[in-house]
Amino acid sequence: MMRELYTQVIMDHCQRPRNQGKLEDADLEEHLLNPLCGDEVVVYAAFDGDRVAEVRFSGRGCAISQASASMMTERLSGKSLKEAEAEIEMFKEQMVGKKEFPKLDDLAALKGVVKYPSRVKCAILAWSAFHEGLSKGGRGSEELAIPEE
């Protein structure tokens, strides 16, 4: 049972997170808390024109939230802003069971979480943060455009 939830891929990402750590001079930096448990995530992105050049994350959380954040950084790097938004939307629908995960998709490793509604929030935390960052304008938002003295 637990192997369906804590899959090899999830545990690998959780114990060897990709793209972890603050990104200096990020075009997007968004902090999000899971109010249910206090877990926190910060996502960072650098943009190149309308493409997402680099995505990183930091924060503290459970295996599911850390692994999902790590997988997100890989998934969204190199995508156009529009594609990134569509990916986030699709992932959220998959996590609430509205859409199926394609068979060969890495993210399908998170499929087991769908059965545990209390953990779905953990899985989508980083994705929601990224979405929030994009909707605030991401790159070019006034807050981020102000250079530090």
Where do contacts with other proteins occur on this chain (CB under 8 A)?
Answer: 1-2, 5-6, 8, 11-12, 15, 36-40, 60-64, 116, 119, 122
Q: How far is the CB of 149 from other proteins (least distance, A)?
A: 29
Q: How far is the CB of 16 from other proteins (least distance, A)?
A: 9
> For residues 111 and 99, what is the distance between their CA atoms, to the nearest angstrom?
11
Q: Are 44 and 57 in contact (CB under 8 A)?
A: yes
Q: How far is the CB of 63 from other proteins (least distance, A)?
A: 5
Q: Compare residues 82 and 116 and give the one whose CB is closer to other proteins.
A: 116
Q: Are 26 and 44 in contact (CB under 8 A)?
A: yes
Q: Compare residues 75 and 121 and give the one whose CB is closer to other proteins.
A: 121
Q: How far is the CB of 15 from other proteins (least distance, A)?
A: 6
> For residues 11 and 98, what is the distance between their CA atoms, to the nearest angstrom?
25
Q: Compare residues 7 and 77 and give the one whose CB is closer to other proteins.
A: 7
Q: Which residues 6+ apart lie within 8 Å of 49 measured at CB?
A: none
The side-by-side arrangement of strands in the sheet containing 40-48 is 28-33, 40-48, 51-60
Phi, psi of 133 (to 5 degrees): -60, -45
Q: Compare residues 6 and 54 and give the one whose CB is closer to other proteins.
A: 6
